């Protein structure tokens, strides 16, 4: 026995506000879909135990909402079930491009081949950052992009099982995938609250499903959950553990600047490393250099590592001329409680021996980094140069001119607070050479007006290096090394001197025994300082932080040759054919290597303001999309009417959709004459115009071509009359969320 459901055809109604056609999904569908999104975002929030702050959640949530809006709007425009998901992928790709790599895109949104390289680099840095950082980690761009991809994939899966598969129980798969991440990384830090909230949302989804969940569905959910729990840990990189003797070492991470303030404020110092050196002077040991400055933070320029660029042999330092006196020295270094993959080295290094694992030098700052080996416990010997330029050699460098700008070490944001630029110009704007300007800046900070403090900036929520922080720092005249280094580097660029920020260690405390001096370096010796570039000499260290480090002395006087002394006295210059060009002359071409754009937001360590702004703009675009689509449809129909291409069909379709948008019943079965009669009942003052348009439509539909064609003016006049007949709230709803678009979604109530 079969049951056949008959549906009574909808009759034309004489009333203006008749019963609408059943073409939109029932309310339970929208509730399930919104609950599925809420469940995904709740499970996503469980990751808060692994990451600092909450900005990463808002970014991921924004992309998830955008993807869901893309699939929903696409379904309103087509009946093909496979189209919405590619459309969501396209929309998400455009959003990712505009948010993370806008400078590589065509017209901001459209990705290019360079965009693919950039995104790959950001994702790679994200995996490295996960492996390097401690919990809770800083959500840098790489981690944020990985999270965006994960939460969007989970959202689309949930959308598919609710809308297409019509099996809401399967929403458990993406929920359990997200919930398993904190458990897989470190089970003891998982937050039970978000597990409970996610479970409550999931039960609400099941309660809306009036059909009894089948055993195969339950079996599939259970199998996917178990399999996900077993496999997820294998796809996650290992988290950096604290294995040092004092229960937590210095953490360098992908950006050594990020954790520097926390390590400096550590109550008990941690022994980071020790070293012996053949020089009579203590040495600074650099971890890395930060060339990129986007107005909010400094970040290193990371490029794919070349297996040929091993630390067994470093290249000649850029800009160091052969006439500058230098001598080769060595240092034996033993690493203690340092986490991360940056190798502490003096600059400029010549070679490193004794390290285990693969270590490679970075082309920008000649720092050393490993893709897969931790620095903790390493012991090695480094050969480095002691560069001794004369005052005359340093003083020959002139500030860069405008045409020399463009390298990462000269770029500044478009808007700089007036106090920073004005202070730089007042201090050194009238001095002729780069060296004089640099020394004036250093003297300004070390003259006694500024105070060293690791707490004052933090108390004012200014524990950072951005332009706003620098402006506040210049006003309060209190801060620690990152503030001094960042301020001097930015002011140097304003004055035409290429600059970057170096992060590493001060020389440490010496301990002499039996004629051997051993230097012990602790977490309190972590330091940041600016390096400035001079033609013919290269990069030189400066020390603007008062009471910290050693003030450099670039007033070396070469010894006078005395015929009465032996020929081998003194250190002779080491011949080396090096370039004396600008700071970017000997570096590989950034476009070939896929170097992140100079000063771009896609590589910043904390792009939160611009990322949130970008996501907000994208959500706003998604919200106005229905109105924009409806406008395009109307303009195309008016164009058809104007050009005489099926004008009757175009005019009638537009009039019917306009009525639907404003809450009128406009069934497909109703003839133009019947619908015009219903319109005239309410719009009595427009009876003549309505009858004229109806006559033109009928004549155009049945008469020979060229006769009785309706006009765009007639169509617009009736549209305006319909709009005036409803209250302002319905008029706004007709513009923002036109019902005629929903009518295009052919919902199958039997599904």
- pLDDT tens string 185-214: 765 667 788 888 888 888 888 777 655 444
Q: Rounded to an integer, what distance in angstroms lies between the CA atom of residue 441 and that of residue 443?
A: 5
Crossing angle of helices 647-661/687-702, nearest 10°?
140
Residue 586 pLDDT > 80, yes or no?
no
Q: Rounded to an integer, what distance in angstroms lies between the CA atom of residue 582 and that of residue 539?
A: 10
Residue 387 pLDDT > 80, yes or no?
yes
Per-residue pLDDT, 11: 37
- pLDDT tens string 394-440: 888 888 754 455 577 888 888 888 999 999 999 998 898 999 999 99
Nearest to 486 by CA among 677, 643, 334, 295: 295
Q: Rounded to an integer, what distance in angstroms lies between the CA atom of residue 85 and that of residue 488?
A: 50
Strand partners, 532: 499, 540
Of the chain, the percentage scoring pLDDT greater than 70 comes to 72
Per-residue pLDDT, 568: 43
Question: 126-135, 179-188, 485-494: which range is least confident on average?
Answer: 126-135
Structure tokens belonging to residue 110: 């459209």
**Mean pLDDT, residues 297-326 taken together:** 86
Residue 508 pLDDT > 90, yes or no?
no
**Mean pLDDT, residues 293-304 taken together:** 80
Per-residue pLDDT, 525: 86
Q: Could you tell me which residue, 120 or 62, shows the higher pLDDT?
A: 62
Per-residue pLDDT, 186: 66
pLDDT band at 574, cuts 50/70/90? very low
Per-residue pLDDT, 241: 42
Distance of CA 412 to the CA centre of its chain: 19
393 Cβ contact partners less than 8 Å away, ≥ 6 residues apart? 321, 323, 324, 536, 537
Number of C-beta neighbours around residue 1 at 10 A: 2
- pLDDT tens string 226-245: 445 444 444 444 444 433 33
Q: Rounded to an integer, what distance in angstroms lies between the CA atom of residue 37 and that of residue 161?
A: 12
Per-residue pLDDT, 242: 38
Residue 288 DSSP SS3: strand
Under 8 Å between Cβ of 613 and 620: no
Per-residue pLDDT, 153: 92
**Mean pLDDT, residues 74-95 taken together:** 85
Per-residue pLDDT, 266: 59
φ and ψ of 343, to 5 deg: -100, 120
pLDDT band at 353, cuts 50/70/90? very high
**Mean pLDDT, residues 138-166 taken together:** 87
Give residue for tokens 């210059």: 573
Per-residue pLDDT, 14: 39
Q: β-strand 338-339 against 250-251: which pairing, if any?
A: parallel
Per-residue pLDDT, 379: 92
**Mean pLDDT, residues 622-648 taken together:** 80
Residue 457 pLDDT > 60, yes or no?
no
Per-residue pLDDT, 262: 63
Residue 524 pLDDT > 80, yes or no?
yes
Question: 298-302, 567-571, 582-586, 601-605: which range is least confident on average?
Answer: 601-605
- pLDDT tens string 330-351: 999 998 878 778 899 999 999 9
Q: Rounded to an integer, what distance in angstroms lies between the CA atom of residue 600 and that of residue 440?
A: 30
- pLDDT tens string 34-44: 888 999 999 99
Residue 511 DSSP SS3: strand
Q: Rounded to an integer, what distance in angstroms lies between the CA atom of residue 62 and that of residue 495?
A: 40
Tell me the C-alpha to C-alpha distance, in Å, between residue 305 and each of 117, 121, 516, 596, 732.
Answer: 14, 11, 38, 14, 56
The region that residue 88 occupies, defined by phi over 0 for left and psi between -120 and 50 for alpha, beta otherwise, is alpha
Under 8 Å between Cβ of 189 and 50: yes
Residue 72 pLDDT > 70, yes or no?
yes
**Mean pLDDT, residues 452-466 taken together:** 65
Per-residue pLDDT, 373: 81
Helices (H) and strands (E) in the chain, counts: 23, 19
Q: Could you tell me which residue, 483 or 600, shows the higher pLDDT?
A: 483
Q: Rounded to an integer, what distance in angstroms lies between the CA atom of residue 634 and that of residue 622?
A: 19
Helix (H) / strand (E) element for 293: namely strand 292-293
User: CA torsion angle for 129, 130, 133, 138 (degrees, to 10)?
Assistant: 80
Helix (H) / strand (E) element for 194: namely helix 192-208
Per-residue pLDDT, 484: 92
Per-residue pLDDT, 632: 82
- pLDDT tens string 249-262: 565 655 566 556 66
- pLDDT tens string 93-128: 999 988 888 878 887 788 888 888 888 878 877 776
Q: Could you tell me which residue, 317 or 247, shows the higher pLDDT?
A: 317
pTM above 0.85, yes or no: no
User: Measured over all CA atoms, what is the biggest interatomic distance in the chain, rounded to whole angstroms?
Assistant: 123
Tell me the C-alpha to C-alpha distance, in Å, between residue 387 and each of 312, 343, 542, 570.
Answer: 20, 21, 14, 14
Question: 145-154, 427-436, 443-452, 623-632: which range is least confident on average?
Answer: 623-632
- pLDDT tens string 4-26: 333 334 433 434 444 444 345 56
Q: β-strand 499-505 against 349-353: which pairing, if any?
A: unpaired
Per-residue pLDDT, 640: 83
Q: Rounded to an integer, what distance in angstroms lies between the CA atom of residue 176 and that of residue 272?
A: 40
- pLDDT tens string 719-746: 888 888 787 777 787 887 787 776 554 4
Per-residue pLDDT, 142: 83
Per-residue pLDDT, 489: 94
Residue 67 pLDDT > 80, yes or no?
yes
Give residue for tokens 């004549």: 699
Strand partners, 310: 360
Query: What DSSP line would sit under 99-151, residue for residue?
Result: HH-GGGSBTTTB--HHHHHHHHHHHHHHHHHHHHSPSSBP--HHHHHHHHHHH
pLDDT band at 444, cuts 50/70/90? very high
**Mean pLDDT, residues 499-505 taken together:** 91
Residue 246 pLDDT > 50, yes or no?
no
Under 8 Å between Cβ of 718 and 692: no
Query: What DSSP line would sit under 158-179, residue for residue?
Result: HHIIIIIS--GGGGHHHHHHHH
Q: Rounded to an integer, what distance in angstroms lies between the CA atom of residue 458 and that of residue 261?
A: 9
- pLDDT tens string 262-283: 666 655 677 888 999 988 777 8
Per-residue pLDDT, 330: 93
């Amino acid at each position: 026995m079969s049951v056949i459901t008959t549906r009574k055809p909808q009759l034309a109604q004489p009333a203006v506000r008749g019963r609408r056609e059943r073409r939109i999904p029932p309310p339970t569908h929208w509730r399930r879909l919104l609950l599925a999104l809420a469940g995904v975002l709740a499970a996503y929030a469980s990751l808060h135990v692994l990451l600092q702050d909450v900005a990463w959640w808002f970014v991921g949530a924004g992309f998830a909402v955008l993807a869901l809006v893309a699939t929903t709007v696409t379904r309103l425009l087509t009946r093909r079930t496979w189209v919405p998901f590619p459309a969501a992928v396209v929309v998400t790709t455009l959003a990712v491009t505009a948010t993370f790599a806008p400078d590589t895109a065509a017209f901001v949104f459209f990705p290019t081949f360079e965009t693919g390289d950039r995104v790959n680099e950001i994702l790679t840095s994200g995996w490295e950052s996960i492996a390097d950082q401690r919990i809770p980690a800083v959500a840098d761009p790489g981690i944020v992009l990985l999270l965006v991809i994960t939460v969007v994939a989970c959202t689309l899966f949930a959308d598919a099982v609710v809308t297409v598969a019509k099996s809401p129980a399967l929403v458990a798969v993406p929920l359990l995938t997200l919930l398993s991440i904190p458990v897989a990384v470190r089970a003891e830090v998982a937050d039970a609250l978000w597990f409970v909230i996610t479970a409550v949302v999931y039960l609400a989804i099941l309660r809306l499903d009036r059909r009894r969940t089948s055993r195969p569905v339950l079996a599939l959910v259970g199998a996917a959950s178990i399999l996900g729990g077993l496999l997820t840990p294998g796809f996650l990189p290992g988290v950096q553990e604290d294995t040092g003797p004092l229960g937590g070492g210095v953490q360098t991470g992908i950006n050594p600047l990020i954790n520097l303030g926390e390590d400096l404020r550590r109550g008990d110092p941690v022994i980071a490393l020790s070293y012996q050196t053949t020089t009579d002077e203590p040495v600074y040991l650099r971890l890395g250099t930060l060339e990129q400055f986007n107005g909010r933070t400094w970040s290193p320029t990371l490029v794919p590592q070349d297996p040929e660029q091993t630390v067994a042999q470093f290249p000649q330092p850029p800009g160091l001329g052969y006439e500058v006196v230098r001598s080769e020295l060595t240092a034996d270094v033993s690493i203690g409680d340092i986490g991360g993959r940056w190798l502490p080295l003096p600059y400029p290094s010549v070679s490193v021996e004794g390290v285990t694992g693969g270590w490679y030098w970075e082309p920008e700052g000649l720092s050393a980094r490993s893709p897969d080996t931790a620095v903790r416990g390493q012991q090695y010997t480094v050969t480095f140069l002691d560069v001794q330029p004369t005052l005359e050699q340093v003083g020959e460098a002139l500030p860069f001119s405008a045409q020399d700008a463009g390298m990462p070490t000269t770029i500044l944001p478009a808007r700089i607070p007036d106090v920073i630029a004005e202070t730089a110009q007042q201090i050194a704007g009238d001095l002729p050479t780069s060296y004089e300007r640099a020394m004036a800046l250093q003297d300004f900070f070390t003259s006694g007006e500024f105070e060293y403090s690791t707490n004052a900036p933090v108390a004012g929520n200014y524990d950072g290096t951005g332009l706003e922080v620098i402006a506040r720092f210049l006003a309060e005249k209190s801060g620690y090394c990152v503030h001094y280094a960042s301020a001097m580097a930015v002011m140097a660029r304003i004055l035409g001197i290429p600059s970057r920020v170096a992060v590493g260690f001060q020389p440490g405390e010496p301990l002499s025994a039996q004629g051997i001096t051993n230097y012990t370096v602790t977490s309190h010796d972590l330091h940041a300082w600016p390096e400035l570039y001079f033609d013919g000499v290269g990069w030189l260290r400066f020390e603007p932080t008062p009471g910290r480090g050693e003030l450099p002395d670039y007033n070396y006087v070469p010894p006078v040759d005395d015929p009465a002394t032996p020929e081998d006295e003194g250190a002779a210059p080491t011949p080396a054919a090096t370039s004396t060009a600008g700071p970017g002359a000997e570096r590989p071409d950034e476009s070939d290597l896929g170097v992140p754009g100079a000063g771009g937001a896609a590589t910043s360590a904390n792009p939160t303001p611009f990322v949130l702004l970008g996501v907000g703009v994208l959500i706003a675009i998604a919200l106005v999309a229905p109105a924009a689509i409806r406008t395009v449809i109307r303009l195309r129909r008016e164009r058809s009417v104007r050009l005489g291409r099926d004008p009757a069909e175009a005019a009638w379709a537009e009039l019917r959709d306009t009525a639907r948008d404003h809450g009128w019943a406009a069934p497909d079965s109703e003839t133009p004459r019947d619908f015009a009669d219903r319109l005239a009942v309410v719009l009595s003052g427009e009876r003549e115009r309505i009858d004229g348009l109806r006559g033109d439509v009928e004549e155009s539909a049945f008469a020979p071509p060229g006769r009785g064609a309706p006009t765009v003016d007639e169509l617009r006049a009736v549209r305006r009359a319909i709009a005036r007949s409803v209250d302002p709230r319905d008029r706004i709803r007709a513009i923002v969320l036109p019902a005629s678009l929903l009518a295009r979604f052919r919902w199958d109530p039997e599904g």
